[in-house]
Amino acid sequence: MIRPLVILPDPVLRQVSEPVERVDDDLRKLADDMLETMYDAPGIGLAAIQIGIPRRMLVIDLSRDDEPNDPHVFINPEIVATGEQPNVHEEGCLSIPDYYAEVERPASVTVRYIDRDGERQEIAADGMMATCLQHEIDHLNGVLFIDHLSRLKRDMVVRKFRKLAVRDKDKAPPTRMVG
């Protein structure tokens, strides 16, 4: 099921997500919904908080359009090591549509997590996977990629999305009261 995305400036995006305590069929269904939502958007990564669920889970698929899907589910991911070499990559975010900026992050990371079968795993990632993991884990901590930009750039983006949110709210049809 495709879920609605939470869009800036919604304060939900600033919540710190809670650890997942049990991997069960409901959690696997949530992972499937997250993947379906991410593919539909389209994106390459999605944290549960981006669909309004403050749980420490994210999904990533870096496959290209001409390749078969290669979904990854990360439950309770934790960065346990970062490389010393920096990398700058242009990032975007499904919760901040149509805005992109260059962000500097470590070029490599090691992440411990639980997979969709409840097994403990560890991944050493570099390149796009390292960037994506850091971006999505930031979401779980209430951090957005714009927080890595200068205060001036970040404030401009937030102001823009606040104006859009007000404008969209004004366009919304009136709700009916039943009484």
Q: Which residues are catalytic, by number? A: 136
CA distance 165 to 170: 9
Burial (CB count within 10 angstroms: exposed 0-12, middle 13-18, buried 19+), residue 146: buried
Paired with 126 in beta bridges are 108
CA distance 125 to 104: 16
CB 133 within 8 Å of CB 125: yes
How many alpha carbons fall within 13 Å on the CB side of residue 40?
A: 11
